[in-house]
Structures are given as C-alpha cells and as structure tokens.
Structure 1
Amino acid sequence: MNAIIVDDEEYARQALFFLIKQQCPQVTVKGIARSVAEARKILKSEKIDLVFLDISMPLEDGFSLFPDLEKNTTSVIITTAYNQHAVKAIRASAVDYLLKPIDKDELHTAIKKADEWRTLRSMSAAQFNNHAMVYNSLHENMNEIKAIRKINLPHTHGFHVVDVSSIMYILADSNYSTFHTEPGDKIVVSKHLKEYESILEDCDFCRIHKSRIINLRHMISYSNKNGLVVKMSDGSEHTVSRRKSPKFMETARRIFRK
C-alpha cells in the first residue's frame, strides 16, 4: 500500500515514518505533509491507498481532508494524542484510531484493517454486505479508547506523556499554554489554550477565564464572597470570570453529582 503521513509536528511525523519503515514493509510512504493543504497536493500527484492523519492541526484540522478522499479508495487511520476525536472518527469512516505514542502492535492491526477495507471496496455489493463486520472493529474498541486518560504535550525534541488526572490547571500566555501538574511540575507547550479547551472538556475540565482552564477534580473550594474565586489542591487561587461562571457552575454540578 502507498501511504502518506499528515501531521503538523515534526517529531510525530519522523517517529511514525521510521516505525512504518521498520515494522511494515507492505507500506510505502510516498509523502509526508505538514498540513491538510500539503496533503491535498500529494493526493493529486500520487495514487495513495492509505493516509495516516493527525486531527489537531492549525488552519484546517484533519477531518477537513475527508471530503477529498470520498472520490477514491483511500483509507484513513487517525493518529492523534487525544481520545476525544474517537466518535467523530467513526462517523467519518476512518478504519482505525491510534493514540500517540503509537504502539507497533496496534499499528500492525490498523494496517491489516486498512488492507481488509481495500479488499471490501473491490467486492460486489453482496460480497460487501457479507463482510460488513470489518466495520465493527472500531466501534468495539470504543470502550478501551474512552478509558485512556493520557495526553501528549509536544516540545522541541519530542513530547511529554502526561496523565490527564494529574493536570491541575492550564494557564495561557500569548501563544503558549503552561500545564501545572502534580507534584508541582510546569510544562510549557506552544499551542493556544483554546485547543486544549475542546480536547479536555469531557474530562472534568472547565475554562473559567480567558487565560485559564482548571481540573475540577483538583478544586477544593469555591467562594463568591470577594468575587468568584476557586482554590486548587496546590493552594493556588483563580478568578472565575462572570461570563464563564454559568458554565463553571453547570460543569461543577454535573461532576460532583457523580
């Protein structure tokens, strides 16, 4: 199978390229793209069977490439650091969904699914219906995907793998986000806070101010005596903006009813 890798992070692109080269001789990487726009150019000039596609990228996210793939038999394997995209990946008919850092055994399984999908596309309608169970594989893995609670925080030479539950809060500083984790570590990432807001919203996090997101599991108190203020498990205090307070109260009630 001819494949391309689409990912905006250099380390992730290189790591996947060498993993495929070492572990998957049946796959030839015909191109590497840093954006959806670059991927479109490669797809116009090369016959591609398989796309390894990151989701969280600037300008256009990975899902915006799917309309360009509908006209041919190209399969898609989602490669991302975030499990929150799983449901949308299923709806978009990705053949599999791999979380970074990518495990070689999971990579082999995903490529096998892509090969089966290619075979299905070449079958008649009757044959296709008889083999529809191949599509169920991603759905069957959903419980496992949802149980994963790690996030990759990229830096210049690679990335940190962090337990989501250890993140206390995230502070914005221009184009950077600073993660404050247990036991008091700080990790600076060159991505906007807004990106992590959408990624973490289903993991008990809430944006309480334009410059901060908190993990409500680390909140120890809330007071509106002198403004709206939350106190976190490390002793730090953070102001909840009045515009964000309704969403904060709604999220807190939902979480602490569990």
Structure 2
Amino acid sequence: MTLTALIVDDEEYSRKSLYYLLQEYCPEVQIAAIVNSVAEAREQLRTKQVNLIFLDVAMPRESGFELLPDLKSSNTLVIFTTAYDHYALKALKASAIDYLLKPIDIEELKAAVKKAHDQMLLISERGTAASDPKQPDHVLPDDGTITIPHTHGFDVINTSEIVYIEADSNYSIFHLKNTGKMIVAKPLKEFEEMLAGKAFLRIHKSIIVNFKYVKAYSHRNGLQVILKDGSALPVSRRRLNEFQEKAKAFFKGE
C-alpha cells in the first residue's frame, strides 16, 4: 500500500530535509504536497487525497494541532514533527500515530512510517469487511494500535500484545504478551473507551481482558475467566451477561 503524504512545516530546511529522507529511506511514501502553514494544508486537503500528514507543531498563526479538527471525518493519519519534546503528551491525546523530534532520526522515521503503513492496511481491511455482505456481523474488528504514555513520551503498541489491563487506583497495569508489565499513569476507564468495539471487555471494575487470550470460563471458584497461560481473572456478576454475549460473538467469529 502506498502512503500519500502531506508535509506541513514552516521551516524550509525542515521541509526539504524530511522530503529527502522520505525519498531515500521510505519508498512506500509518495509526497502529494509540501506546504508551510496550516492554512495551506487545508487548501491542499480540499483537492488532494492524502492518508498521512507529517505535521509540525509550532508554526506562526496556527499550530499543527489546529489542523486536527479538519481530519476528524477522514482516515488520515498524523505523524507530528517538532523540535520540542513537551508536546508529546498532547500529541498522544490527539491520537497521533507517532511523534518525531527534530533533527529527525532515520531509524525513528522508518519505524513511524511502518506504523502508519500497518495502520492503513488495517483500516483498508476493515473497510473491505464492512462492505462485504458475506462478512458475519458478529466478527470483531482487527487489531490496531494504541499509544501508551510514559515519562519520556509514549510508545505505540499493537493491541494484540495486550493480554489484560488491571486497575491500580489511578494507574493502569498492562500485562503484555512478550514484554511483561507496563504501568501507565492513566485510569482504566480511558483505555476502556479507547478499546471499545475491539476484542476487549471490562469484565470487572478493575480488569479489561483481551478475548484472544481467553481459554475458558468457570464458576467453580467464583466467576472466573481462565487465560491461555493458566491465570484466572474475576468476572463481576453485573458484567456477566455482557461477558457471555461478547464471548459468544467472538468465539463464533473465530
């Protein structure tokens, strides 16, 4: 899949540098236009179909964040590019696919483009599934990515790596398939909203589980979900019906 991109940056050197890096190291990216302001970006978006924007943050008149409302109705992905690391959390909350600090590192650029490429493939596959009359309506969406904040910025992880998420006061503990635990300074409810509609369900006030790792359900020792690694998680009584309905839809669709 080709990524058709727009570069938005008020600094000429930064625009040219990013363009040459993409030409040299990211052949899957086709540059549709290069502009120096949010206003010019809006003009380009009226006439050009793009699915990726490399967006500077600190620009005169309008910041890069002010372009985001124009993208709400599209599947356009955003990679922020900036010289200032203190915008990282705001970029995370804006659901950016990645955040690159200037001067842009080649390997970080290639990794960010790969994330965007993988995400666009998922979006394309979901669109095909939605338009296919043979596609069962109980099949849950494919895996995607979410951004996880930490003290130095954020990580983008594939949702298929999440086994379950556990609440600890205002923190959330991610139990990941290959990399152990990750503690995040955000409440569980925020991740419940991010993962709504996917293969996840809040089965208890303190637990969200990924159905991909569920092996069994038992009420022998209280209401419990048994995971493929043998661990057991509690299911609250008030969430039991929702759990059973989603489990039936999920496993029927596998």
**TM-score interval, normalised by the smaller of the two chains:** 0.5 to 0.7
In 1, Cα distance between equivalents of 2:175 and 2:64: 42
Partner of 1:224: 219
In 2, Cα distance between equivalents of 1:179 and 1:143: 28
Q: How does 1:38-117 map to 2 (within 5 A)?
A: 46=61, 51-53=66-68, 76-77=70-71, 89-90=72-73, 96-98=76-78, 99-101=96-98
What 5-or-longer segments of structure 2 have no aligned partner?
Answer: 1-7, 20-33, 40-59, 79-95, 101-108, 113-119, 128-141
Partner of 2:35: 26
Change (3 A) 1:52 1:186: farther
In 1, Cα distance between equivalents of 2:121 and 2:232: 42
Q: How does 1:156-175 map to 2 (within 5 A)?
A: 156-175=151-170
In the TM superposition, what whole-angstrom CA distance separates every residue of 1:217-243 from its partner, at most 9, and x where no partner exists?
Answer: 101111012321111123221110001
Partner of 1:187: 182
Partner of 1:248: 243
| Percent identity (aligned) | 35
- Correspondent of 1:143 among 124, 132, 143: 124
The TM-score with structure 1 as length reference comes to 0.52
Aligned residues: 165
Partner of 2:29: none
Change (3 A) 1:242 1:158: same
| Residue identity in the other structure for 1:143 | S
The TM-score with structure 2 as length reference comes to 0.53
In 2, Cα distance between equivalents of 1:206 and 1:47: 39
SS in 1 for 2:148: strand
In 2, Cα distance between equivalents of 1:184 and 1:140: 25
Change (3 A) 1:46 1:220: same
SS in 1 for 2:155: strand
What 5-or-longer segments of structure 1 have no aligned partner?
Answer: 5-17, 31-44, 54-65, 67-75, 78-88, 108-138
Q: Is the 8 A contact 2:165 2:208 kept in 1?
A: yes
SS in 2 for 1:153: strand
In the TM superposition, what whole-angstrom CA distance separates every residue of 1:115-135 from its partner, at most 9, and x where no partner exists?
Answer: xxxxxxxxxxxxxxxxxxxxx
Q: How does 1:4-23 map to 2 (within 5 A)?
A: 23=18
| Residue identity in the other structure for 1:51 | E
Change (3 A) 1:48 1:157: closer
C-alpha displacement of 1:144: 5.4
Change (3 A) 1:184 1:223: farther
Q: List 4+ stretches of structure 1 deviating above 6 A.
A: 18-21, 47-50
| Residue identity in the other structure for 2:214 | M
Change (3 A) 1:101 1:225: same
Change (3 A) 1:155 1:223: same
Q: How does 1:116-127 map to 2 (within 5 A)?
A: none
SS in 1 for 2:230: coil
C-alpha displacement of 1:176: 0.9
SS in 2 for 1:197: helix
| Residue identity in the other structure for 2:76 | D
SS in 1 for 2:212: helix
Aligned pair 1:155/2:150, yes or no?
Answer: yes
| Residue identity in the other structure for 2:98 | P
C-alpha displacement of 1:253: 0.5
In 2, Cα distance between equivalents of 1:205 and 1:172: 15
